Chains A and B, each alone.
Chain A
């Protein structure tokens, strides 16, 4: 073999060994933090670095399984499968519900694609039901192919400010105005005076805030921006007025986009200095640190949890078509960024089997399903709201005849 050939092959092998050795060393120290099997459990929020929660209200667990029994009698002739899509805010609840409901023999396939997707798909009738955390606007309702759409609230949840700061645990204090300024790009560093004023005992780092928001159409965004619109004039003016500062999609002035609550939680978990808004379950289940928010009365800082969500929901007033909003409810223990999720179902169904399946499923969700909400850290509906939701189901008709017996 020619001398050059031998030299080059030896060199190649040596170079390869050196490079592979260096890179695998880098790889193993850098990325391997998913130790242990996929056991995953919702641990209590950890405090540290001076941050901790104020509210004592979160230590109670009363009212967790309401045991509603006012369900609709099972309608016969239901199809064995249903297809739904929408909100990622409610996706963990749908996962638990559909898996439990499968024991009755019916398979409900719910795809978590964002509230915007839920609205779009039900408008186009490519799914049997949609789901959105913000109610459909009048324009969206008009664009629906199959006639009027009923909004059926299914749970109460909350949107929390989650962050990733090494050494600092859960419980950082935020106000709506400060959050608005961060998302408008007016506050760019963690040790900005407005943040340090709210959190005197915490050593906030001199790091840029990696703002995370949704890249898809999101009801979670809707709830978050409705709250920011109410509390932060900076936010409203940066976004060009109240008409464009809230909604499922907004023109985000700064930040990284993540797809779904899942994506935002991914960005927050992997980016040092990140701040994102998440549904509570996503933060708890992934041990992501999250903060507390000043209540509507400006009297205290409230930790998001089942009881403070329920406290907020109990103060809410809903219009007849149930298209309401739960943000900034009064009350000392009411968490201000609370929301519900709406199943979107056509009032005038055309397929008897599908209509029966829909009524059966949602009746189950509103009764037995509510007892499961706490497993994924959602509040069940309060009794008054649950009654109103049930009443929505009775409005479903097939070719004029009401479905619910």
Chain B
């Protein structure tokens, strides 16, 4: 997703009641297909549209067009409203169920021994998530930014291949990444927080690289050239001038990647396994994560465990929303005005 909003055409005053003085032409249906001849097609289509009859006569054709217009606009808007309604439904349901059990106790305690007992919380999952996502972030941000820098600033055949590979990696299902990390690490060293962090980093890297490369593109070439002309080395230029200029957009990209990582479950299922009852802060061992804990508690039938799962789901959504909001706010403060788009 590009951090910049799409260009929108200016609004025009369009009043279908305006008089149309072209001679009457029979109605013709259909539009031309190929994009190449759109100009001609538009003109033809417009020319064959039913026109306003001479003054004083009935306007049924125009009225029909106006009605169809309003109908279609309403239909399109209704679809949008439906999508937003679904969003409200999901968030509202999670909030309603989660607020029943969300409390300071939930955030600071671990689940009770007896799964059908009430109380307790997902402290181990929250801590585990923060640690694992933290490690993944520490791995992926430097590597991601470095790779994006190479792709954009140095170019060449390797860069072209790497760019294609990065785009392809965005589409790799996360469970496949989990299976890869299992084969690479878990088989040798067992389930651990580190394995999970590596899997998350592998998922975050392509996103960070894409976002960073987009932002690097918006930095004007003149800035780089001026710096180089002053004798500043290329590496220094990139580090001290280009990256800071693009920083807010890069931060946006990283925040969005972190938000994505916080919500991942599938790859962690295969690499961390989870730790249902205890807080574990050593990434060498199996840890709990919020996503795994919500998953394992959600599918049980124990009412109490499900209540905790809802509170956990609400916590996850809130965390993701917070990171997304930070990303948007950081993205607003663009350092370069009128950047290339």
A and B touch in the complex (CB under 8 A): yes
Known: A37-B101, A100-B113, A375-B114. A126 touches B190 (CB 8 A): yes
| Cα-based distance from A142 to B201 in the complex (angstroms) | 37
Centre residue among A34, A91, A288 by max chain B CB count within 10 A? A34
Given contacts A11-B73, A260-B296, 10 further A-B contacts (CB under 8 A): A5-B11, A7-B73, A12-B77, A20-B85, A34-B100, A91-B115, A92-B115, A96-B114, A109-B277, A126-B190
Complexed CA–CA distance, A107 and B110 (Å): 13
Consensus secondary structure, chain A interface = helix
Whether, in the assembled complex, A265 has its beta carbon less than 8 Å from a beta carbon of chain B, the answer is yes
Q: B86-94, B156-164, B235-243, B326-334: which one contacts chain A?
A: B86-94
Contact A127 B190 (CB under 8 A): yes
Inter-chain CA distance A23–B275, complex, in Å, is 37
Of residues 252 to 276 in B, which have CB atoms within 8 Å of A's CB atoms?
273-276
B299:A259 contact, CB within 8 angstroms: yes
Asked whether any CB of chain B lies closer than 8 Å to the CB of A69, the reply is no
Alpha-carbon separation in the docked complex, A113 to B273 (Å): 9
Given contacts A2-B15, A127-B190, contact A265 B74 (CB under 8 A): no
Instruction: Offer 14 A-B interface pairs, CB within 8 angstroms, sorted by A.
Output: A15-B78, A19-B85, A23-B89, A34-B306, A34-B307, A81-B285, A92-B114, A99-B277, A111-B286, A113-B273, A125-B190, A126-B186, A262-B300, A286-B301
Partner of A39, one of B80, B118, B306: B118
Contact of A124 with B by CB under 8 A: yes
A residues 241-273 touching B (CB-CB < 8 Å): 258-260, 262-263, 265-266, 268-269
Which 9 pairs, one residue from A and one from B, show the smallest C-beta to C-beta distance? A99-B113, A265-B301, A285-B116, A38-B304, A262-B300, A40-B304, A38-B118, A16-B81, A38-B307
Residues of the B chain whose Cβ atoms lie less than 8 Å from the Cβ of A41: 116-117
Q: How many residues of B contact A (CB 8 A)?
A: 58
The answer to whether A24 and B11 touch across the interface, beta carbons within 8 angstroms, is no
Chain A residues whose C-beta falls within 8 Å of the C-beta of B112 in the assembled complex: 95, 99
In the complex, chain B residues 94-124 whose Cβ is within 8 Å of any chain A Cβ: 96-97, 100-101, 112-119
Find A285's partner among B82, B84, B286, B302 (CB 8 Å cutoff). Answer: B302
Query: Could you tell me the distance in whole angstroms from the C-beta of B216 to the nearest C-beta in chain A?
Result: 38
B70 sits at the interface (CB 8 A): yes
Bitwise, A1-24 to B at CB < 8 A (1) or not (0) is 011110110011001100110011
- Contacting pair B11 A2 (CB below 8 A): yes
Closest to B186 in A: A126
Asked if B118 contacts A37 (CB within 8 A), the reply is: yes
Question: Counting CB contacts under 8 A, is B172 at the interface?
Answer: no
B13 in contact with A262 (CB, 8 Å): no
Contact indicator per residue, chain B 320-339, by CB within 8 Å of chain A (1) or not (0): 00000000000000000000
Q: In the assembled complex, how far is the CB of residue B91 from the closest CB belonging to chain A, in whole angstroms?
A: 11
Interface centre among A110, A126, A258 (most CB of B within 10 A): A126
Q: Encode A319-330 as 1/0 by CB contact (under 8 A) with B.
A: 000000000000
Which of A41, A258, A285 has the most chain B CB atoms inside 10 A of its CB? A285
**Distance (whole angstroms) from the CB of B259 to the closest CB of chain A:** 25
A381 contacts partner chain B, Cβ-Cβ < 8 Å = no
Quick check: is A163 within 8 A (CB to CB) of the other chain?
A: no
- Bound Cα distance from A19 to B84, whole angstroms: 10
Q: Does A335 contact B (CB under 8 A)?
A: no
Instruction: Give the residue of B82, B119, B280 whose beta carbon is less than 8 angstroms from that of A38.
Output: B119
Chain B residues positioned under 8 Å from A384 (CB to CB) = none
Contact, CB under 8 Å: B14 / A12: no
Q: Is the CB of B275 within 8 A of A109?
A: yes
Nearest-Cβ distance from residue B189 to partner chain A, whole angstroms: 8
Q: How far is the CB of A125 from chain B (nearest CB, A)?
A: 8
- State how many angstroms separate the Cβ of B264 from the closest Cβ of chain A: 18
Q: How far is the CB of B108 from chain A (nearest CB, A)?
A: 16
A15 partner residues in chain B, CB cutoff 8 A: 74, 77-78, 81-82
Give the residues in chain B near A96, CB-CB below 8 Å. 113-114
What residues of B have a CB within 8 angstroms of the CB of A268 in the complex?
Answer: 301
Instruction: Give bound CA distance, A262 to B293, whole Å.
Output: 13
Chain A residue at minimum C-beta to C-beta distance from B100: A37
- Cα A2 to Cα B70 in complex, Å, equals 13
A209 at the interface (CB under 8 A from B): no
Chain A residue at minimum C-beta to C-beta distance from B74: A11
Residue of A whose beta carbon sits closest to that of B103: A37
Residue of A nearest to B273 (CB): A111
Nearest CB to that of A102 among chain B residues? B278
With CB as the reference atom, state the residue of chain B lying closest to A124.
B187
Report the minimal beta-carbon distance from B284 to chain A, rounded to whole angstroms.
Answer: 11
Residue of B14, B80, B85, B187 most packed against chain A (CB within 10 A): B85
**Docked-complex contact A2 and B14, CB < 8 angstroms:** yes
B210 at the interface (CB under 8 A from A): no
Query: At the interface, yes or no: A149 with Cβ under 8 Å from chain B?
Result: no
CA distance A5 to B308 in the complex (A): 46
User: In the assembly, what is the distance between CA of A16 and CA of B86, in Å?
Assistant: 10
Chain A contacts for B85, CB-based, 8 A: 16, 19-20, 23
The reply to whether the CB of A31 lies closer than 8 angstroms to some CB of chain B is: yes
CA A127 to CA B301, docked complex, whole Å: 27
Q: How far is the CA of A11 from the CA of B275 in the complex (A)?
A: 50
B311 (CB) vs chain A CBs: closest residue: A38
**Structural contact, B300 and A263, CB atoms closer than 8 A:** yes
Tell me which residues across on chain B come within 8 A of A32, comparing CB atoms.
96-97
Contact partners of B77 in chain A: CB under 8 A: 8, 11-12, 15
A32 to B99, CA, bound (A): 13
Q: Establish whether residues B15 and A3, one from each chain, have CB atoms under 8 Å apart when the complex forms.
A: yes
In the complex formed, the residue of B with least CB distance to A17 is B81
The reply to whether the CB of A394 lies closer than 8 angstroms to some CB of chain B is: no
Q: Tell whether B42 is near chain A: CB-to-CB under 8 Å.
A: no
- How far apart are the CA atoms of A110 and B296 in the complex, in Å? 13
Q: Which of A11, A24, A92 contacts B89 (CB 8 A)?
A: A24
Partner among A2, A19, A109, A124 whose Cβ is within 8 Å of the Cβ of B285: A109
Closest to B280 in A: A109
